Chain A
Amino acid sequence: MNTSRTQRLVLAVVAWSITFVIFFPILWMFLTGFKTEAQAIADPTLFFTPTLESYAAIQSRANYFHFALNSVYVAFGSTLLALLIGIPSAYSMAFLPTKRTKGTLLWMLSTKMLPPVGVLVPIYLIFRDLGMLDTRIGLIVVYTLMNLPIVIWMLYTFFKDLPKDILEAGRMDGASTHQEILFLLIPLTLPGIASTGLLSVILSWNEAFWSLNLTSSRAAPLTAYIASFSSPEGLFWAKLSAASTMAVAPILIFGWLTQKQMVRGLTFGAVK
Chain B
Amino acid sequence: MRTRTSGRTVGGLRSLSLQAPAVTLLLIWMLIPLGMTLWFSFQRYNLLMPGMEQFAGLENYEYLLTDPALWRAMGTTLVLVGSVLAISVIGGTLLAVLYQQDFFGRGVARVLAISPFFIMPTVSALIWQNMMMHPVNGVLAWFTGLFGLPAIDWFSSFPLLSIIIIVAWQWLPFALLILLTAMQSLDDDQVEAARMDGAGPVAVFFFITLPHLKRAISVVIMIQMIFLLTIFAEIYVTTSGGPGLATTNLAFLIYIRALLEFDVGGASAGGVIAIILANIVAIFLIRMVAKNLED
Contacts and interface: CB of A to CB of B under 8 A. Distances in A.
B15 A96 contact: yes
A249 to B, nearest CB: 10
Given A111-B29, A119-B37, A148 B22 contact: yes
B237 A227 contact: yes
Contact of B14 (A25, A89, A92, A266): A92
B147 to A, nearest CB: 15
Given A92-B14, A121-B36, A122-B33, A106 B126 contact: no
A43 B223 contact: no
B169 interface: yes
B22 A108 contact: yes
A115 B181 contact: no
Contacts of B157: none
A172 to B, nearest CB: 11
Given A117-B251, A263-B181, A266-B223, A15 B131 contact: no
Given A11-B101, A230-B238, A237-B131, A270 B289 contact: yes
Interface stretch (B51-59, B61-69, B186-194, B253-261): B253-261
A73 interface: no
Contacts, number: 300
A219 interface: no
A271 B142 contact: no
Interface string B32-54: 11101100100000000000000
Contacts of B19: 88-89, 92-93, 104
A183 B23 CA distance: 25
Contact of B233 (A126, A223, A266): A223
Contacts of B103: 8, 11-12, 15-16
Given A15-B109, A109-B286, A114-B34, 8 more contacts: A22-B113, A26-B115, A89-B21, A89-B22, A120-B258, A122-B40, A125-B36, A248-B123
B37 to A, nearest CB: 6
B78 interface: no
A48 interface: no
A145 interface: yes
26 contacts: A11-B101, A15-B103, A16-B109, A23-B113, A26-B115, A28-B132, A28-B139, A85-B22, A88-B18, A89-B21, A96-B11, A102-B290, A105-B293, A110-B286, A117-B230, A118-B272, A118-B274, A119-B36, A208-B236, A223-B121, A241-B127, A241-B131, A244-B126, A256-B111, A267-B220, A270-B289
B69 to A, nearest CB: 15
Interface residues of A, number: 97
Interface of B: 1, 3, 8, 11-12, 14-15, 18-19, 21-23, 25-26, 29-30, 32-34, 36-37, 40, 95, 98-99, 101-106, 109, 111-124, 126-132, 137, 139, 142, 169, 172-174, 177-178, 181-182, 185, 215-216, 219-220, 223, 226, 229-230, 232-233, 236-238, 250-251, 254-255, 258-259, 264, 267-268, 271-272, 274-275, 277-279, 281-282, 285-286, 288-290, 292-293
Given A119-B34, A272-B181, A247 B120 contact: yes
